[in-house]
Structure 1
Amino acid sequence: MKRILPLLLLVICMYGCSKTAEFNRVIDYSEPFTLTRIGQDSASGYDVFLSENLPLESEKSERIRRFLNTHSDGWNTNISSIIGDMTVSQGDFRMIYSEGAESVSITYLDKNGRPTQLSRRIEPGALDFLFD
């Protein structure tokens, strides 16, 4: 019993930390997303940022919208700095991901204008279509 109680408290605390993200409040699905990836300049060998606006009707835009609409629950507060291979952005919203990763992070301003950063576990490679 003494071993079960701390484990039970840990499970309750972890479950209580999970939250529903409010990013759908800050995303305008009638506006395009910007996809920014880190690439390498062939002449200099330095990393460069490669950005493209995703047309609303594109398959990538549709899959991003579907992912966000089906993954609004299960997010956890994350205070660490996040660097990914790519960022999907629109206005004050950012989704940060690395190819093959098992988690994704988002940042946005909450309804009070405070920066919010959340992370969530996902199926490995669930967002790898962004690299195609």
Structure 2
Amino acid sequence: MGRVIDGRFELVERLGGGGMGTVWRARDLALDRDVALKEVRPQDPALAEHDPEGARQLRARVLREARALARISHPNVATIHHIVDGPAHPYPWLVMELVPGENVADRLARGTLAPAEAARLGRGVRPP
């Protein structure tokens, strides 16, 4: 069994990461479904200790963006289901719809996109 976040979300595998955190495939044990769980963390892990105001601003920004994302309903935007936040976690975790597929970097590693495929992907990220 993997690490369990908030007594409910079991980390299954790391899907990717970047400057603002890591995204995991997780199992929602309460609803028996797979979800994406974004572990929000700054590039400098000591931010909370050495810059509490910066850490507070980061938390506020993440929560504001999560609430804005929760108001969007679009077939090309992952749904946010839940925010794990509280004293047990230095930064929020975002529980989101798990979208099957591969990331752009993995796709490009297989070769360049044909113009029609690039156009199809581009159309998918614009407003309807």
TM range (shorter): under 0.3
Query: What TM-score comes out, normalization by structure 1 length?
Result: 0.22
Identify the structure with the greater helix proportion.
Answer: 2
Query: What TM-score comes out, normalization by structure 2 length?
Result: 0.23
